[in-house]
Amino acid sequence: MFISQAFAQTAPAASGGAESSLLSLLPLVLMFVVLYFIMIRPQMKRQKEHKAMIEALGKGDEVVISGGVLGRVSKLGDSYLHVEVANGVELQVQRAAVVQVLPKGTFK
């Protein structure tokens, strides 16, 4: 009485199925492209510049190491270097710990 009968409906024709799946992937692809140009590419550029700076280090260069300590490079090795932070005080650090090379005369 109160319940009407339900009849099965025919399925609509499946036209343009491939187009709709490609259009649904378009925002994901666009987000990846934007992420690449905003985050990944600049980070790779910074890594490349940091590697070049570390390879160009020489004895007597004034540097800042990762803890914020300033010093002068006194000895160089393949993966480690000695940084003189005061008269007679040397720290042995990894090359990757060098954050910045300072202009000559900054550290006295």
**pLDDT score recorded for residue 11:** 67
Q: Which residues contact 73 (CB under 8 A, 6 or more apart)?
A: 57, 58, 59, 60, 61, 62, 63, 81, 82, 83, 84
CA 34, 39, 44, 46 torsion: positive or negative?
Answer: positive
List pLDDT tens digits, range 35-84. 999 999 999 999 999 999 999 999 999 999 998 999 999 999 999 999 99
What are residue 39's phi and psi, to 5 degrees? Answer: -115, -50
pTM: 0.69
List of domains in the chain: 16-56 (no CATH), 58-108 (2.30.30)
C-alpha distances (whole Å) from 69 to each of 34, 49, 63 are: 37, 21, 8
Compute the distance between CA of residue 81 and CA of residue 58 in angstroms, rounded to an integer: 10
